[in-house]
Amino acid sequence: MKTLQNIGKLTMLLLAAMLAVSCSVLERAVEKPTVSVDSVRFQSVSLNEGRLDSQLQVYNPNAFALPTRKVTYHLKLNGRNIISSELALDKNIPARGTVALLVPIRFHYSEVLQGIASIFQQGKIQYQLSGDVDVGFMNIPFSRSGEFVPQR
């Protein structure tokens, strides 16, 4: 009976080791895709909320398509953390191709109440957008910063 238990434990250990090796081999066999932030545009700014759209370009250097599962993102306005969220996706990045991903981001000024005074005093909004795109077995980071001057 103890022999069967030992064989079962050994089998489980071998399966775990094979899984770890196969994941490592897969990551080395796949070239890492790249993500660039093509644009960040404020679409609307009102007294209550703001909305910006971020256009990401994801390039797949591999000879096979890759899925996109989700985009996780973080937004700072004038140095303050505003929102951290994620957007579920269901797009494939073609082999040796690029796909554009539109990430709409809404935020309420109640989330940045302390920073509103600095926005009106400075007359501009400095933004920092960062995050990553999940392609199933790895996450690809991106970031961009800039400023926007609201029209009065």
Percent of the chain topping pLDDT 90: 42
Please give the C-alpha separations between residue 63 and each of 27, 54, 75, 93, 94, in angstroms, as whole numbers.
14, 27, 33, 11, 9
Closest CA to 142 of 64, 43, 79, 54: 54
> What's the predicted TM-score (pTM) here?
0.68
Contact 93, 99 (CB under 8 A): yes
CB atoms within 10 A of CB 131: 25
The pLDDT assigned to 128 comes to 92
Range 124-130 average pLDDT: 87
For 71-108, write each residue's pLDDT tens digit.
999 988 888 888 899 999 989 999 999 999 999 988 77
